Structure 1
Amino acid sequence: MAPTRTDSQLSESYIQDAFHSYLKSSLTQAKAERLLDADVLSSAEGDLMITGPALCLYFAALRCTTNPPSVPLPRHNKSAQPMELSYENCPSAFVSFLRVWSNTVPAIQALSPEYQHDLARMICNLEPLITPLQPSLNGIAADLRAVAIEISQRRSFQDRYASDLQAALDSGTTPSSPSPKRAAFVPPPSYDASPASSAQSSPRSSVDGHLQASPQFANHDLPPQSPTFLSPATSSGFPPRTPSPTILGFNSPAIEFIRETLYASLADALDWQPSLRDLLKTDPPRAYFASVAFAVLDVATNSMTPDGAVIGVLGTPLTLEKCPPELRPFMAELAAIGHAARELAEEDDAIAMKHAARGEEIPPTRMDRVRLMLEQGVGYAMGRRSQEGRRSVEGRAVSFTNRVNALSLGMTKLKAFRERQDDVFKVLAGIGA
């Protein structure tokens, strides 16, 4: 397929084809270098949706030979002219991805081969081999994984990722002796906007009204307001969650308890972040993932007890001991995110006090940037940050945002979430219509 242009821009489909071509070779190379094994490639577990695209961006950075950085695109035939993806021809949908990636290229190429290998290991969630750790690797890995998270939210990526994984699994095999492993990756439900809700209904009443009217919901009294164990002013910045109707009974399985606790926060997220309603009109899939991420941040910071239990929508706790073993990593990560949010907020407060004591303007906080990245993406936030001139070498705000997004993706891939998330998204899309 030859590239098509509109006002000198390459088409999105052409860039998507090029990306998946490189993604297959990147996954194959990672398998050959033992960064990823066949079991990981065939599984649908962990954050494989993030690891694959991040590796592709890493290998593309190593191949880059231009300044400013551009991506050499694969040629579909030998007679085709070499072509680079640059700001001049990049489709507008991918400019933010290119901006973040191009900022990492000089740093990646300046690393020694040993540190470059450690960076690849960190992208694959493997321990680096060299100690002490090169501090800049954290920030580079965080930026690559942040772009990968945004790529993994695109439907065009989700629909093709299983074949990319299978291509890597089949590498090194022959037609007569194919790979015994099959890629188990299954895309999440597609997200299509539902008909507009009543114009007279408020966002809050639209959600609650849908939940109350739906026959699948039991008639429970509104639960008491969940206690707040971390002060909203010093954690996520969210107010305490208001009560919401729920389908849960008091003996519901733990996964349903966690799921409904998170989904009960979605309507609140639209109240706290009114711009999400506009995003529902312009980019429904991003709005859905952003809403879930804000719900995760809210529950992690406002509904976790000091010992790691979740106070759910019925006002009762789910302790780690009562949680099935396969769900405990999710619970532990929720608690860890809450703890990290509190640390970031405390550091933000200390920085603000120092600036105030010197009579200086107080800069945007890390948590401000986290909320910006959860909603608009790392590329948009990086453009703002370059104007503000503030960024730590470790990329802590980006790393924290990645943790929230990664947990959101991991949770929504679970079967219990997939069963309900399509309906929940249609409710949210109806609000924004």
Structure 2
Amino acid sequence: MAEALKLPKYSIGTGDRFAHQAKAQLAAVMKAAEQGVDIAIVWNKSNREHMIIGTEPTQTREAADAAVKELGFKGQYFLDADHITLKTVDRFLAPCDFYTIDVAEEIGKPAAEADVEAFVAAHPELVGEVRIPRIAEPFKTDVAFVKGVANKFLAAVKDAGKIYRHILEAKGEGKFVAEVSMDETDLPQTPVELLIILAAIADEKIPIQTIAPKFTGRFNKGVDYVGDVPQFTKEFEEDLAAIDFAIKRYGLPDNLKLSVHSGSDKFSIYKAIHTAITKFDAGVHLKTAGTTWLEELIGLAEAGGEGLAIAKEVYAEAFAHAEELCKPYATVIDIDYAKLPSVEEVNGWTSEQYTSALRHDQSNPAYNSSFRQLLHVGFKVAAKMGDKYLKALEANEDVVAKNVTTNIYDRHIVPVFLGK
């Protein structure tokens, strides 16, 4: 019997919207291996992105497999059906082996009273003084508290169970990795709340290997973390402690680890993450690390000529359709429209001016986070260009690939996994 698929200690989620940068992304992970750090690469692309671009998950699989073969990569790699629900999962069943189960719509929906009562009855250890090793102070709970948390999250966990069993029926046991996303909620979960969620997941018999809780602060798309870093550090370490305890107490997979969603470019917290996973000897999944689509634009602009012209055209269209492009991402972007340069201004820019505004280098006074965020959600514009955009990528492959690899390795892998 084949060995069950197991996500390694360290993994990095990389999006590749146009399926052209798999080699460049993989090269970053291979550079880490040369430094003695093995990281599994997880290519992820959501149903929404496939719908916007007009692609199929099988194309992402083909690109990943081709990159692995061409570069002779011997490590582990996965394809993530990113943020799937029961309605969207079927098209991902054949090509994917990692499933981020999204239950956002169910979080906060009242659970069945009988389910809540049964949960509380089954878990007396969660009522009273709850001691989680490696957290100094015990947590004091009562029946009302546990019922309240169960009522908020139990319907979501039950929904995750339905999705997991649907995948299980199609794929078979041990043939895929399951993650449950619990970050679409109003407030960060406390360690004891996370413990309650993990107990419910264990009861539902979902062998999750990663979980994405809610953390304090803003995790906006493609820009740095905005929030209280010491508070994040405390939450992250306490979540690691809660997971370690839940593995032992509830028999969850021993490689269960935290997943940091919208983890890309959160430079302010990378040192805290590295310190914490080192201290706890824990793993981490850094999801959507390295905004590859933006590195493509940077590469095109850097190339000059037709590449720069296309980069300017993308901005002009994104600027003209800003409201429409931003709407689906409203909760994960903060654009100051007054700071967006005019189309006329950008059309007059040199390659260096364009890349300086877009590249995520906060030491550069020309860096513009609003410009960057608008272009981040503007991939729909490039999708509408079709072959024109893809041929530009291919014509400028060397400069684009260099930006993609450098971004993932230098700005993400090195601080999080190598601690430098």
TM-score by structure 1 length? 0.28
TM-score by structure 2 length? 0.29
